[in-house]
Structure 1
Amino acid sequence: MTKILLVEDNEMNRDMLTRRLTRQGFEVCCAPDGPTGVAMAESEQPHVILMDIALGDMDGWEATTLIKQRPTTAAIPVIALTAHALATDRARSVEVGCADFDTKPVDLPRLLGKIGACLAARAA
């Protein structure tokens, strides 16, 4: 079963997206903040990470940078999730190593397509 790590500080968003992804057949583990997300990337070894950008003390870009610096987690694709659809946010996400970028509110079919593309690229 494909495992997704969802790093999201908003409990309602975390719950809603976890339920929707679980119904699609994914195993979902959740982290409520950046430091926990970095630690869980190491311990859980998910197939894909969905990373909220606005997380508080350690934002999603910093957490992604740390994940990409570690040899044991560097290959895990990260999809940035943000309510801000600015070109600068997309550029910053790519700069820190995100495989893709998606906006909130989440459009599930679009996000599933991006998850599928990341999984296919990782398998290639």
Structure 2
Amino acid sequence: LTPMVPTREVYFVRYCKQLSGEKWAIVDVSIDKVEDNIDASLVKCRKRPSGCIIEDKSNGHCKVIWVEHLECQKSAVHSLYRTIVNSGLAFGARHWIATLQLQCERLVFFMATNVPMKDSTGE
């Protein structure tokens, strides 16, 4: 998080469906109003039809195809970041894959059973 890039609140519904024994689809889409007291003028970002397909590869791995489709007001993106956001680099596929890979590496480390709990001095 950074003060230059505001966080976004998005209200959406999610639908999950098992397509086959090994494959699931998850679809998200924004909803305009959840409660009567939400000011529509505050909505600066909408989640367009987005989602993923998860397929079990039966070798302990899964194939994931993920598509995010957002519509944001230009003014919501600070001018310093507008070029990189509009180019697709900030929220493009390469960025998301790198983020997923980093998260997977962190999980592998935290789930590892062969990591010593103490340093070499015994402390």
State TM-score, norm by structure 1.
Answer: 0.24
Structure with bigger RCO (C-alpha 8 Å, 6+ apart): 1
More helix by share: 1
Larger Rg: 2
More strand by share: 2
